[in-house]
Structure 1
Amino acid sequence: MTDRLEGFVPVGGVARPHGIRGEFCIKSYADSPSLFGRVPALFMQDGNKPPKPYAVRAWREHKGLVLLTLEGIDDRDRAEALRGQTVLVREQDLPELEEGEHYLYQMMGCRVVLEDGSEVGVLEHFFETAEQDTWVIVNTEGTEILLPAVPEFVLDVDLDSEVITIDPPEGLLDIYLNPEPPKKKKPRKDGKKGGKRKTE
């Protein structure tokens, strides 16, 4: 994830068309796909161009992805033109969360600490895999630390203090902060004998 457009929140990215009637697959950043049926409009953004609004005609889940059908996107060619674009919603349109829930965009820039208060870094961005979100935490030296964002590793999120407390898997921080030095290569034996060649 990169810097987001003021007033908008990225909720997915277009993967590919699905079928011939304008439906397309997106990789969703939302915890619940029902979000796509609860907002008045989605906005599609191509690179840094201004986002364009679309009304949602239908949505459904399919093999870990979300399939969307938007007004005005009614054939495969138009769906193909959306490939790689970012799916946004207006921040004001986001459904209210239950107590203790947070949107990922709200956590970007928060300090990340261990249970004893030791600084780990700052949550800069995240990326999504089939299994879970992975957070990218950057420390003061600029080293990126990748943390699986699952409940057993994320202990507390305090948005008021902008602090996230984590308990990473044993050895994970050492992998990034204390990598093993490269092993020295052993000298290669080429099998050639030394000595001078006898000349007549």
Structure 2
Amino acid sequence: MKKEDCFYLGKIVKKYSFKGELLIKLDTDQPDLYENLDAMFLDINHTLIPFFVESSQLHKSDLLRVQFEDVETEADADALVKTEVYLPLDLLPKLEGNKFYFHEVIGFTMQDKHYGTVGKIVAINDSTAQSLFEVENNGKDILIPMNDEFIVKVDRDNKTIIVDTPEGLIDLYLE
């Protein structure tokens, strides 16, 4: 399994018991969707290794308490703390309407109601306070805030996102 075929589920943050149980901090708004998994992929030395789940249950709000097969001691568990956890993309719940996963819209064409075709979405920058669409237009990068008020329609069939940006925003990048 390759990392590009998976999505980041969370990170093992600490041991839970002396029997090898671990706590995974989930990076999701719907932790209950991941309570009864059969397996997870752990990123060990930049290789995704499958680990089979013996038992799991939600612990507090966004922590998943997991017992993996063959992880039976504190030492086994210690070796996995701070490891990132991944799942195959096909386990992501399907989103509809104007909701989307960041990886899903890479390659979509962005169109603005007033400006017309802005360009192709080449990346999502989520390292800032507000996530940004990175759109390529004839060799120039345009950053469009990922704001619900700007997004008019996500058209999955035509691989297009229609936005309504404030007047002059796109022109700032092209002048």
TM-score of the pair, normalised by structure 1: 0.60
1:34 is the counterpart of 2:32: yes
Q: Aligned match of 1:67 in 60, 63, 66? A: 63
SS at match of 1:105: helix
Question: 1:67, CA displacement in angstroms?
Answer: 1.3
Which of the two has higher C-alpha Rg? 1
Q: Flag structure 1 segments of 5+ consecutive residues without an equivalent.
A: 180-200
Counterpart in 2 of 1:25?
25
Q: Aligned match of 1:154 in 151, 155, 168? A: 151
How many residue pairs get matched? 163
- CA offsets, 1:45-80, max 9 Å, x none? 246313323426123454xxx212222367597367
Letter in 2 for 1:69: R
Q: Tell me, yes or no, if the aligned pair for 2:110 and 2:135 is still in contact at 8 Å.
A: no
Give, in whole Å, the separation in 2 of the partners of 1:145 and 1:80.
Answer: 41
Give, in whole Å, the separation in 1 of the partners of 2:153 and 2:16.
Answer: 45
Aligned CA distance change for structure 1 residues 61 and 47 (closer, same or farther; 3 Å): farther
Identity fraction in percent: 20
Q: Tell me, yes or no, if the aligned pair for 1:57 and 1:69 is still in contact at 8 Å.
A: yes
Give, in whole Å, the separation in 2 of the partners of 1:168 and 1:76.
Answer: 54
Give, in whole Å, the separation in 2 of the partners of 1:70 and 1:169.
Answer: 47
Counterpart in 2 of 1:145?
143
Question: 1:5, CA displacement in angstroms?
Answer: 3.3
Letter in 1 for 2:132: W
Aligned CA distance change for structure 1 residues 37 and 52 (closer, same or farther; 3 Å): same
Q: Tell me, yes or no, if the aligned pair for 1:18 and 1:25 is still in contact at 8 Å.
A: no
Q: Flag structure 2 segments of 5+ consecutive residues without an equivalent.
A: none
CA RMSD of aligned residues (A): 3.7
